[in-house]
Chains A and B, each alone.
Chain A
């Protein structure tokens, strides 16, 4: 019968080498899996971030459109409609700032809230007019207040768009 004892050390060596290779392979697989998970996480973050900013732009675009309509309603002296539109604008501004406000800088966020307050002051003032015709200074005051509110919303929209474009550029690079 052949003596296989001389093979034992060789088998031990092969076993040890196989263990080391196995360990190395396991570490490699773990690293690859971690990289894949990080990449997937990054892609998900980028997609979410893009959605967030696009939605902020959309919200502010809605507000800008509503503010523009308030301008027309002031010209037509449709005070009840000014009231209703203002309520909608203030509500949209509040929800937009609550949802996406952390994206904008502090001054811009303050500007959005101030715009809502200016429009509310127009609505409050308009309730004093009733059916009478406005004097020129009264009309000018309402128009200039509306323009200031509109300017603040446009600034916020500009900043949101800039952030969206920057985010798009980063995604492309």
Chain B
């Protein structure tokens, strides 16, 4: 699938994911591929977030594995911000930092 200029709806979807992830409404998991994370919506749609050559990319697929939307941070800046939120949430970065700082204080 060729990346085309994202529509207003695509951008709205990225903002929806960003808000949902910030509010902890969405559970992301790291896949076996480095720098790639996934979540599922309505038990039917899969969202993949990946970092490819210093560009963040978001792919929405349906349950037949067809790509519905593909946007990257070159066209939509928020994808970069989303990737960073997703990465931190999926890898429990804050908990790790708390643990490290807690261990240091003892």
Binding site for B on A (CB under 8 A): 94, 97, 101, 106-107, 109-114, 117-118, 121-122, 124-126, 141-142, 144-145, 148, 152
Contacts and interface: CB of A to CB of B under 8 A. Distances in A.
B32 A113 contact: no
B9 interface: no
A118 B63 contact: no
B32 A142 contact: yes
**Which of B33, B36, B39, B40 lies at the interface centre, i.e. has the most chain A CB atoms within 10 A of its CB?**
B40
Interface of B: 27, 29-34, 36, 38-44, 46, 63
The interface residues of chain A, by DSSP majority, are classed as helix
Given A121-B36, A145-B30, A145-B31, A101 B43 contact: yes
A85 B29 CA distance: 21
Contacts of A148: 29-30
B24 to A, nearest CB: 12
Contacts of B40: 110-111, 113-114, 117
A118 B29 CA distance: 8
A109 B38 contact: no
A111 B46 CA distance: 11
A67 to B, nearest CB: 14
Contacts of B27: 107, 110-111, 114
